[in-house]
């Protein structure tokens, strides 16, 4: 029941503890409030860089409790005081994406549909994501305070808004092709 934001200087951990494959999970969210609500989301990828990956798949889920606190959330508590409804975190059991990380190589979760929901208001953008390993021992990924900024988690969103969609004006109707 600890918060391992930076486990022994090697990053966020996910995986097993004493044979329990759900003992360590990652909670992560990004501030997307600057994306206009009328935007068309083309794609969205959450990218992580593992410092040590054992080769077991990671699965990403949408968290359903928006009140979790980054530096206080634990296995039992979402804010250091109040209990999760389910130990290990409250999340939608439908997986968003699954990837098998390789140490020293970026891996990307496709989170396009969830980001669309965040932007159009179908989902609360404060919920964020929960990542867990399907089985196996611990793996680590770099976190948002890692000293090498280029290896920190990133959310890459490609979108179009009314201001970015080209608007062609062909002028007044010329009755082309008519006599």
DSSP state of 150: G
Residue 134's pLDDT is: 72
Report residue 85's pLDDT band, with 50, 70 and 90 as the boundaries: very high
Strand (E) positions, 111-169?
A: 129-133, 139-141, 154-160
Tell me phi and psi for residue 105, to 5 degrees. Answer: -140, 135
Whole-number Å distance between alpha carbons of 39 and 169: 22
Tell me phi and psi for residue 82, to 5 degrees. Answer: -95, 140
Residue 22's pLDDT is: 46
The pLDDT of residue 93 is above 90: yes
The pLDDT of residue 158 is above 50: yes
Lowest mean pLDDT among 20-24, 30-34, 166-170: 166-170
Of the two residues 3 and 46, the one the predictor is more confident about is 46
The pLDDT of residue 23 is above 90: no
Query: Stretch 119-142: mean pLDDT, rounded?
Result: 83
Residue 129's pLDDT is: 94
Contact 119, 37 (CB under 8 A): yes
Residue 37's pLDDT is: 87
Tokens of 86: 């389910």
Q: How many CA atoms lie within 13 A of 127 on its CB side?
A: 23
Share of the chain above pLDDT 90, in %: 39
Contact 149, 25 (CB under 8 A): no
Average pLDDT, the chain: 80
Query: Stretch 2-22: mean pLDDT, rounded?
Result: 54
- Whose structure tokens read 């089985």? 135
Report residue 81's pLDDT band, with 50, 70 and 90 as the boundaries: very high
Query: Stretch 117-132: mean pLDDT, rounded?
Result: 91
Residue 55's pLDDT is: 74
Residue 108's pLDDT is: 95
Residue 21's pLDDT is: 44
Range list of H helices, the chain: 112-120
């Amino acid at each position: 029941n600890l918060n391992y934001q930076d486990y022994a200087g090697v990053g966020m951990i996910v995986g097993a503890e004493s044979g329990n494959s759900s003992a360590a999970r990652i909670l992560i969210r990004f501030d997307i409030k600057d994306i206009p609500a009328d935007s068309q989301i083309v794609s969205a990828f959450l990218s992580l860089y593992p410092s040590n990956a054992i080769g077991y798949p990671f699965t990403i889920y949408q968290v359903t409790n928006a009140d979790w606190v980054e530096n206080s959330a634990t296995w039992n508590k979402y804010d250091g005081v109040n209990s999760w409804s389910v130990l290990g975190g409250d999340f939608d059991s439908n997986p968003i994406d699954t990837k098998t990380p390789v140490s020293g190589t970026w891996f990307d979760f496709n989170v396009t549909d969830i980001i669309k929901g965040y932007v159009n208001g179908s989902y609360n953008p404060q919920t964020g994501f929960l990542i867990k390993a399907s089985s196996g021992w611990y793996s680590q990924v770099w976190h948002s305070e890692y000293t090498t900024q280029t290896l920190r988690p990133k959310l890459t969103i490609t979108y179009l808004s009314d201001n970015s969609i080209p608007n062609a004006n062909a002028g007044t109707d010329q009755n082309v092709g008519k006599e």
